[in-house]
Structure 1
Amino acid sequence: MATTYAVDPGNPDDSYLSFWREKHLCTLTTLRPDGTPHLVPVGVTYDPGALLARVITNRTSAKVRHVLAAGAEGAPVAVCQVDGRRWATLEGRAVVRTERAHVAEAERRYAERYGRTPSPNPSRVVIEIALTRAMGRG
């Protein structure tokens, strides 16, 4: 990633994908009911093969409430990570998944990226983001 550019979220180049495999704290931006942005730190995993980004969280969080408020179509969201001058953003439509298989897959991917298994949490859900756009700067 030498310059700012658009990326095919389903077919990123090696450098973009490598950046998303590094251990970085990310941000998730959702929209509040009044349309203002709500930005919080999160761990994110990126699965270009499935065109998904995943965020594990507690079902009572504000970010979950914002996504649920958008209805069945999902909520427009963005996740981003920064490391010095390098940055990468993924955008798409988010839905909340409560099914154990989806949560377990998100936990597995989180452990793989961040090097630690999340502690047990019966209130855990996963925000799945169906990716529509990606961009970054190397």
Structure 2
Amino acid sequence: MTQPLLLSSAAEDFLAENHLCTLTTLRPDGSPHVAPVRFTWDGESGLARVMTTVTRRKARNLLAGSGARAAVCQVAGGRWITLEGPAAVSTDPARVVEGIRRYAKRYWSQPPQPPGLAVIEISVERAMGLY
């Protein structure tokens, strides 16, 4: 198991703010799929989490191929940060509950919980930005 990526305090502070975000995954044909999302950052484990359902395109893209990767990008004016790494879709109840807990803490409300709820976990290996 690798060590989580350590971010600067400025990056951690920016990630704690509530801003517009996008998630980029690759479709089976290799073309990018970019979707607006809300996400949470867990600096201790190095995981970015996105709540979704297994039937959404972003989840299907990640489930379609081995070695799937994703990038989440937060933007606020001229400030931005992109977090990239291998991504997995999980319906494991403990992982989904943890995703919901973190989402509710960051956004002060529960995420929608339709059938097939899942969490995308990105093991962040690279971060870049201007914050």
TM-score tier after normalising by the smaller chain length: over 0.9
**Of 86, 97, 102, the match for 2:95:** 102
The reply to whether residue 80 of structure 1 matches residue 73 of structure 2 is yes
Report the alpha carbon displacement of residue 122 of structure 1 after superposing the two structures with TM: 3.3
Q: With structure 2 as the length reference, what TM-score do the two structures score?
A: 0.92
Count of equivalent residues: 129
Of stretches 119-128 and 40-49 in structure 1, the one that deviates more from structure 2 is 119-128
For residues 45-79 of structure 1, what are the alpha-carbon distances to aligned partners after superposition, in whole Å with 9 as ceiling and x for unaligned?
Answer: 111211111000011101111000113x3x11110
Who is 1:24 aligned against? 19
Report the alpha carbon displacement of residue 87 of structure 1 after superposing the two structures with TM: 0.2
Q: What is the Cα-based RMSD across aligned positions, in Å?
A: 1.5
Q: With structure 1 as the length reference, what TM-score do the two structures score?
A: 0.88
Partner SS state of residue 113, structure 1: helix
Who is 2:108 aligned against? 115
**Of 94, 114, 136, the match for 2:129:** 136
Report the alpha carbon displacement of residue 116 of structure 1 after superposing the two structures with TM: 1.0
Stretches (4+) displaced over 3 A: none
Who is 2:53 aligned against? 58
Counterpart amino acid of residue 134 in structure 1: A
Distance of 2:103 and 2:87 partners within structure 1 = 17
Which runs of 5 or more residues in structure 1 are unaligned? 1-8
Counterpart amino acid of residue 75 in structure 2: V
For residues 74-129 of structure 1, what are the alpha-carbon distances to aligned partners after superposition, in whole Å with 9 as ceiling and x for unaligned?
Answer: x1111001000100000001111111110010011111111111243332100111
Identity of aligned residues (%): 52
